[in-house]
């Protein structure tokens, strides 16, 4: 079997369940963005371990061809000339080995440098994924690491904000949420705001959102999603993307109308629909980052809500411990 045939065969297995994969992709996107920002901005201790102490020379923004609908989570060129690729996982993925094989082939084709893959697992259930794929014509190995293998105590004492946030996920047993919040409370305002949003979202992986809010109140702090600069930047990005899609749709509808009035109406409607879709897209991503892949009843509620409802959901995201706490009771099918 040729390399191209192997890639196509692997890709077919990865995309067997296209509809569910679409929602899982949305679930992964904001989680990946949160963790990727932490690793790129703060260079936390787990990253230094994965590079084996070799300094990072450059972070590489890598998008795979559209046919795979995948973006490598974090790719970096190390000072020794090798490439390190990291995938962040909030859940076990049975197709992980096939994904790594595809990325290995494409990254090798693009850079032609020695390449190493690491999967960093941050989910609640025990890690249960293969660390290799062996077929008749190829064999690919990669590293699997569980965030709980890190020294949670050392991360908590670190001066790196991302280390402190990650210490919550690294703790085994009952996490000491209060210690993490108190440590973050001592950070300068600019660092604290970003770290608290990261903490609030990643706490969903351990169902600790309620405890986070309780501990925040103890130290006299709250997370105001309407004022936090990090969330507002995500909101602007999502709205901009929605507006771009809306303008394109509006132009197309205007052309079909064949009149100037129709074009203008199409543009206006497209802008409004784009803004609403951008807001809703951010809500979906934040929910998925916190609670994991969204079940069918939640996806149904998120299809066409009223703007006021979207605002209510936005206020509840960081404080709720469950999806029901944000979206309300699930509807029972009759």
Q: Quickly state the pLDDT bin for 232 (edges 50, 70, 90).
A: low
When pLDDT is averaged across residues 24-31 and rounded to a whole number, the result is: 59
State CA 218 to chain mean position distance: 29
Q: Quickly state the pLDDT bin for 236 (edges 50, 70, 90).
A: low
Tens digit of each residue's pLDDT (9 = 90 or more) over 105-123: 989 999 999 999 999 999 9
More confident residue, 75 or 225: 75
Can you give the pLDDT at residue 96? 93
When pLDDT is averaged across residues 189-205 and rounded to a whole number, the result is: 86
Can you give the pLDDT at residue 46? 94
Most confident listed range (60-74, 223-237, 259-273, 290-304) = 290-304
Asked whether the beta carbons of 113 and 144 are under 8 A apart, the reply is no
- DSSP states along 103-159: HHHHHHHHH-S-EEEEEEE--SSPP---SEEE-SS-EEE-EEEEGGGS-HHHHHH-S
Question: Would the pLDDT of 125 be above 50?
Answer: yes
Sort strands 143-146 and 115-121 into parallel, antiparallel or unpaired: parallel
pTM of the model: 0.69
Q: Where are the domains of the chain?
A: 3-149, 152-218, 229-303
Asked whether the beta carbons of 132 and 99 are under 8 A apart, the reply is no
Question: Which CA distances in Å does 114 have to 107, 110, 130, 159, 191?
Answer: 10, 12, 22, 32, 35
What SS3 state is found at 74?
Answer: strand
Sort strands 83-89 and 115-121 into parallel, antiparallel or unpaired: parallel
Question: Would the pLDDT of 135 be above 50?
Answer: yes
Q: Quickly state the pLDDT bin for 14 (edges 50, 70, 90).
A: very low
More confident residue, 110 or 308: 110
Can you give the pLDDT at residue 278? 73
Can you give the pLDDT at residue 310? 82
Question: Angle of helix 189-202 relative to helix 18-42, nearest 10 degrees?
Answer: 150
Residue 5, CB half-sphere, CA atoms under 13 Å: how many?
6
When pLDDT is averaged across residues 178-195 and rounded to a whole number, the result is: 90
């Amino acid at each position: 079997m040729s390399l191209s045939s192997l890639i196509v065969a692997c890709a077919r297995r990865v995309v067997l369940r296209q509809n569910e994969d679409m929602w899982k992709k949305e679930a992964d996107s904001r989680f990946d963005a949160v963790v990727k920002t932490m690793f790129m901005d703060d260079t936390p201790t787990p990253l230094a371990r994965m590079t084996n102490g070799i300094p990072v020379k450059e972070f590489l923004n890598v998008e795979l061809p559209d046919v795979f609908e995948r973006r490598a989570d974090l790719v970096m060129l190390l000072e020794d000339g090798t490439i390190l690729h990291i995938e962040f996982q909030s859940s076990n993925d049975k197709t992980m080995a096939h994904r790594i094989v595809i990325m290995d082939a494409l990254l090798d084709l693009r850079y032609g440098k020695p390449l190493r893959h690491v999967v960093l697992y941050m989910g609640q259930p025990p890690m249960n994924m293969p660390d290799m794929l062996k077929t008749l014509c190829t064999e690919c190995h990669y590293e699997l690491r569980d965030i709980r293998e890190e020294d949670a105590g050392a991360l908590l004492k670190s001066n790196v904000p991302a280390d402190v946030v990650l210490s919550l996920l690294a703790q085994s047993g009952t996490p000491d949420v209060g210690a993490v919040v108190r440590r973050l409370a001592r950070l300068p305002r600019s660092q604290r705001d970003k770290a608290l949003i990261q903490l609030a979202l990643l706490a969903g992986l351990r169902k600790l959102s309620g405890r986070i809010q309780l501990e925040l109140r103890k130290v006299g702090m709250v997370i105001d999603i309407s004022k936090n600069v990090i969330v507002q930047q995500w909101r602007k990005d999502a709205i901009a993307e929605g507006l771009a899609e809306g303008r394109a749709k509006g132009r197309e509808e205007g052309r079909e109308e064949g009149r100037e009035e129709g074009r203008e109406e199409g543009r206006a409607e497209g802008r409004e629909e784009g803004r609403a879709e951008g807001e809703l897209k951010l809500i979906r991503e934040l929910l998925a980052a916190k609670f994991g892949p969204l079940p069918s009843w939640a996806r149904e509620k998120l299809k066409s809500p009223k703007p006021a409802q979207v605002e209510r959901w936005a206020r509840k995201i960081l404080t709720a411990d469950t999806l029901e706490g944000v979206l309300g009771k699930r509807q029972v099918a009759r």
